[in-house]
Amino acid sequence: MAGPGARWKRHIVRQLRQRDRTQKALFLELVPAYNCLLEKAELLARISEKLQPKPNDVTPATLQGPWEEESGPDSDLVPSSSTLRVKWQEEEEGLRLVCGEMAYQVVAKSAALGALESTLEQRQSTLAALQARVAELREEQARQTRQVDAQRALNVAQRAAYEALRGRARLQEAALRRLEEEARDLLERLVQRKARAAAERNLRNERYEKAKQARMSLELKAAAQRTVSISESPNTIGDGIREEGKTLALMAEPVSPKSEAGEKWLRTFSFKKRRGRSIGGASEQRYQSIPVCVAAQPPSQVLDVLDAHLSEVNAVCFGPNSSLLATGGADRLIHLWNVVGGRLEANQTLEGAGGSITSVDFDPSGSQVLAATYNQAAQLWKVGEAQSKETLSGHTDKVTAAKFKLTRHQAVTGSRDRTVKEWDLGRAYCSRTISVLSYCNDVVCGDHVIISGHNDQKIRFWDSRVPCCTQVIPVQGRVTSLNLSHDQLHLLSCSRDDTLKIIDLRVSNIRQVFRADGFRCGSDWTKAVFSPDRSYALAGSWDGALYIWDVDTGKLEGSLRGPHCTAVNAVAWCYSGSHVHSGSRGLWAGGSRTPGLGPLSSTCRAGQSQSDLSAVHI
């Protein structure tokens, strides 16, 4: 079917042809009329020549014969030659005028015809160009049509592939749901079997204890009813009575584990501690218990100030023996320091981190250091070795926290990729990935619980034996740090609303909220810690001051100012309760910033007077 372009072109051609026919018809009528006039003019000219009298043909009146006189009555009917000549001359003038007009019209029409012919030629050339353009456009249309057909065919093929992929995905999702259901069923059956096995074991133990008690009662009755032979010596009788009395006293009185008898009792009935309500029946290797300070005093004097890193200090952590300190900064280095007499002495530098250090943690044995870095991984060092031992990779964004669990060879990491991962350090393998709806800023670990603080102002609790979140506690402000007390009954959180909160984990409720005039949380990774005996809470402010609150009264115990000039990023309180360590970005000395000094770390002695405040630059 012809398009709109072809229709308007045919219309233009028809108009041109119609105008040509109309103008040609006018000229066709004009030319024969002009030729007829010319023929008539020639005929009149010949007639006028014939009618003109010759000189010898003129005869005077006197020469007229009698025949001329006789024709007198009819002379009025025949005009005279002079009259005819005048008439013919008038007609000739009129014909000449008409011929002139006709000739002028012919010239004008010829000029108009020439203009129309030139216009026709221009329009014909324009029409030819338009026809060529139409041909090009038709070719382009055909090419575009072929491309559209090819694209449609490709779309059809891709749609078919997409539908096939969707079908496979649906099948795989169905298989996954089926496997998950089977796994849940197996898990439930395993838990039920473990529960039955535990109940049977408890029943056997009870029966064994009852039988043992019955046997012991029978032995005591038999011993009481036994007659003593008079042939035995008095010393032998007394020794037997004393041994029986010791045995009865040991069974009747509670035994203290610290006493000699208690140690013997524990050695006799010791057994490996198993995980309560554990799915697997394998025993769990645990670290030795960490010594806890009985009574801590708030820090009051700065003992040592030094330029620890080339850039800001993001993390500090004491070892379990309180004599080794680790600091990590944005310079991708971890420095180990010996705490000797209230001063820091360089011990070792751990290298090989792929990014800025955001978190540092010692394992409870003090032989390994775990650090979270900005290169989407956590790295493990062995104390005494400068290079990294293992790299725990699997996150897709910055790792903000890395902590050891109480069980051996296990750790937990949190990241800005909205995941929390559990790791088997023996195989450097991620054993579990927990997906969260918000960035994770810090994590802490209990016996079987993982607690994570997030950017969406929520603290989430995860059980290692349950796949989903067990509890969510909302707080006002982004959570910057979490710290768990040594008895695992209280949790300290720091958030960007410039408050510290103590959460009682026994009732899962916020017990206390700490605020202070001048205290402001300086960054999204500002750390706050408990004292070892959970008597005090310590945090650094944006202005470089350390704020200490009394947990029992909820009041501000005091603030320590002087060495730091910018926001304090991290603080650590040693397990013995004798020292506090803090790290920040820079140093004020003598009321003004000292040029050339970078991020610092300071050590404070607990229980000394405020008047002894001093700063020693190294």
266 or 454, higher pLDDT: 454
Rounded to a whole number, what is the distance in angstroms from the first to the last CA of the chain? Answer: 94
For residues 206 and 200, give the distance between their C-alpha atoms in angstroms, rounded to a whole number: 10
- Looking at residues 276-286, what average pLDDT do you find? 46
Q: Which of 243-257, 312-326, 587-601 has the highest mean pLDDT?
A: 312-326
Region at 590 (left for phi over 0; alpha for psi -120 to 50; beta for the rest): left
Count the Cβ atoms, other than its own, within 10 Å of residue 516.
Answer: 19
- pLDDT in the model for residue 288: 57
- Dump pLDDT digits (tens) for 526-536: 999 999 888 89
- Looking at residues 420-433, what average pLDDT do you find? 89
Q: Which of 57-61, 202-206, 357-361 has the highest mean pLDDT?
A: 357-361
The share of the chain scoring above pLDDT 70, in percent, equals: 78
The pLDDT of residue 440 is above 80: yes
For residues 136 and 139, give the distance between their C-alpha atoms in angstroms, rounded to a whole number: 5
Q: What is the pTM of this model?
A: 0.52
520 closest CA partner among 570, 488, 567, 576:
567
Confidence class of residue 152 from pLDDT cuts 50, 70 and 90? Answer: very high
Confidence class of residue 386 from pLDDT cuts 50, 70 and 90? Answer: confident
The pLDDT of residue 442 is above 60: yes
- Dump pLDDT digits (tens) for 334-382: 999 998 877 888 888 998 888 899 999 999 888 999 999 998 999 999 9
186 closest CA partner among 282, 279, 283, 284:
279
- pLDDT in the model for residue 54: 55
Place of tokens 């000699």: 260
Indicate the SS3 state at residue 304: strand
The share of the chain scoring above pLDDT 90, in percent, equals: 30
Distance of CA 334 to the CA centre of its chain: 29
Question: Which tokens in the block code for residue 417?
Answer: 């990729």
- pLDDT in the model for residue 334: 92
- pLDDT in the model for residue 56: 52
- pLDDT in the model for residue 16: 86
Indicate the SS3 state at residue 93: helix
608 closest CA partner among 226, 370, 297, 245:
297
- pLDDT in the model for residue 83: 82
Q: Which of 32-41, 292-301, 515-524 has the highest mean pLDDT?
A: 515-524
- pLDDT in the model for residue 52: 64
- pLDDT in the model for residue 587: 40
Torsion sign across C-alpha atoms 606, 611, 616, 617: positive
Question: Which tokens in the block code for residue 520?
Answer: 């402001």
> Which residue type is seen at 505?
L
- Dump pLDDT digits (tens) for 96-122: 888 878 778 888 888 888 888 888 989
- Dump pLDDT digits (tens) for 451-475: 999 999 999 999 877 778 889 999 9
Q: In what order do the strands lie in the sheet with 390-393?
A: 357-362, 368-373, 377-382, 390-393
For residues 448 and 430, give the distance between their C-alpha atoms in angstroms, rounded to a whole number: 17
Strands (E), 84-127: none
- pLDDT in the model for residue 566: 82
Angstrom distances, CA of residue 546 to CA of 327, 556, 602: 18, 11, 11
**Mean residue pLDDT across the chain:** 78
For residues 442 and 453, give the distance between their C-alpha atoms in angstroms, rounded to a whole number: 5
Name residues whose C-beta falls within 8 Å of residue 205's C-beta, 6 or more positions apart in sequence: none
Q: Which stretches within 52-80 are classed as H helix?
A: 66-70
- pLDDT in the model for residue 281: 41
343 or 186, higher pLDDT: 186
* Whether the Cβ atoms of residue 617 and residue 565 lie closer than 8 Å to each other: no
Task: For 547-569, give the DSSP string.
Answer: EEEETTT-SEEEEE-SSB-S-EE
- Looking at residues 175-181, what average pLDDT do you find? 92
- pLDDT in the model for residue 128: 92
412 or 261, higher pLDDT: 412
Angstrom distances, CA of residue 101 to CA of 105, 108, 116, 550: 6, 10, 22, 128
For residues 320 and 290, give the distance between their C-alpha atoms in angstroms, rounded to a whole number: 6
Q: How many CA atoms lie within 13 A of 77 on its CB side?
A: 4
Range from 221-235, 487-501, 567-581 carrying the lowest mean pLDDT: 221-235
What is the torsion angle, in degrees rounded to the nearest 10, for the CA atoms of residue 28, residue 32, residue 35 and residue 41? -130
Indicate the SS3 state at residue 457: coil
CA Rg value for the chain: 59
319 closest CA partner among 540, 569, 539, 581:
581
Question: Which tokens in the block code for residue 52?
Answer: 């003109």
Reported as type and span, the H/E element at residue 135 is: helix 81-225
- pLDDT in the model for residue 220: 84
280 or 408, higher pLDDT: 408
Max Cα–Cα distance, the chain, nearest Å: 234
89 or 603, higher pLDDT: 89
Confidence class of residue 284 from pLDDT cuts 50, 70 and 90? Answer: low
Write 319-323 long-range contacts (CB < 8 A, 24+). Answer: 319/362, 319/366, 320/290, 320/291, 320/362, 320/364, 320/365, 320/366, 320/575, 321/366, 321/575, 322/574, 322/575, 322/576, 322/578, 322/579
- Looking at residues 415-436, what average pLDDT do you find? 90
- Dump pLDDT digits (tens) for 568-595: 889 998 888 778 888 876 543 223 222 2
For residues 103 and 115, give the distance between their C-alpha atoms in angstroms, rounded to a whole number: 18
For residues 17 and 24, give the distance between their C-alpha atoms in angstroms, rounded to a whole number: 10
DSSP state of 358: E
For residues 305 and 347, give the distance between their C-alpha atoms in angstroms, rounded to a whole number: 16
Range from 179-188, 280-289, 488-497 carrying the lowest mean pLDDT: 280-289
- pLDDT in the model for residue 197: 85
Question: Which tokens in the block code for residue 155?
Answer: 């779309």
The pLDDT of residue 262 is above 80: no
* Whether the Cβ atoms of residue 46 and residue 38 lie closer than 8 Å to each other: no
- pLDDT in the model for residue 206: 84
Confidence class of residue 233 from pLDDT cuts 50, 70 and 90? Answer: very low
DSSP state of 229: P
Range from 133-147, 256-270, 314-328 carrying the lowest mean pLDDT: 256-270
For residues 289 and 276, give the distance between their C-alpha atoms in angstroms, rounded to a whole number: 18
Question: Which tokens in the block code for residue 138?
Answer: 């038709």
- Dump pLDDT digits (tens) for 16-54: 888 887 777 767 777 777 888 888 888 888 777 776 655
